């Protein structure tokens, strides 16, 4: 498993936590770890064998080392899997739409069960978002 794959799992976890309404410090720690891992020249797969070296990296603590060890060992992360049982994986694609952040995506899911880009585009086409606070006509056009 390469660093980019590990970083992607951490980023997915951060985004799902944010959609889930986690406190900012919780999901930001995953985002920061993902950024760092993505830019590391060394393989995280090798670094997890020496946890003390990982802990020397800024923003990587004992708990994050445990998470990284789990990802390297299993190819996934239990918190990410748990959140993907609560939210469909396609919800991460919805975040790529212009003008939609995690809070709006969470709102669309909880109120319209919109979990795909096609679902959100349909809502915009049908002008169902126009009168929703935080969206409006401009958001519909951007979608």
* Residue whose entry in the numeric block shows the structure tokens 């498993």: 1
> In the predicted model, what is the mean pLDDT of residues 2-15?
96
Give residue-wise pLDDT tens across range 107-137: 999 999 999 999 999 999 998 888 888 888 8
pLDDT of res. 141: 86
Kindly report the pTM of this predicted structure.
0.89
Q: Which fold has domain 88-142?
A: DNA polymerase; domain 1 (1.10.150)
| Nearest-angstrom CA–CA distance, 8 and 37 | 10
Structural domain boundaries in the chain: 3-85, 88-142
CA atoms within 13 A on the CB side of 54: 21
**Fold: same for 3-85 and 88-142:** yes
Please name the residues in contact with 62: beta carbons below 8 A apart, sequence gap of 6 or more.
51, 55
Q: Are 61 and 101 in contact (CB under 8 A)?
A: no
Separation CA 71–CA 66 (nearest Å): 9
Average pLDDT over residues 134-143: 85
pLDDT in tens, 53-98: 899 999 899 999 999 999 999 999 999 999 999 999 999 999 998 8
Has residue 39 got a pLDDT over 90?
Answer: yes
41 neighbors 4 (Cβ within 8 angstroms): no
With contact defined as beta carbons under 8 Å apart, do 92 and 5 qualify?
Answer: no
Average pLDDT score over residue span 33-52 = 94
* pLDDT confidence of residue 133: 86
Choose the CATH number for 3-85 among 3.40.50.2300, 3.10.620.30, 2.60.15.10, 1.10.150.110. Answer: 1.10.150.110
């Amino acid at each position: 498993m390469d660093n980019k794959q590990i970083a992607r799992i951490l980023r997915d976890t951060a985004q799902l936590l944010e959609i889930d309404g986690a406190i900012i410090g919780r999901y930001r720690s995953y985002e920061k770890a993902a950024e760092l891992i993505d830019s590391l020249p060394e393989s995280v797969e090798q670094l997890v064998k020496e946890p003390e070296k990982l802990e020397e990296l800024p923003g990587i603590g004992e708990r994050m080392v445990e998470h990284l060890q789990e990802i390297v060992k299993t190819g996934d992360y239990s918190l990410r899997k748990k959140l993907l049982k609560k939210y469909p994986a396609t919800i991460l694609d919805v975040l790529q739409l212009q003008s939609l952040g995690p809070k709006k995506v969470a709102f669309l899911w909880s109120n319209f069960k919109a979990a795909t880009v096609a679902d959100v585009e349909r809502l915009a086409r049908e002008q169902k978002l126009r009168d929703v606070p935080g969206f409006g006509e401009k958001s519909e056009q951007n979608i």
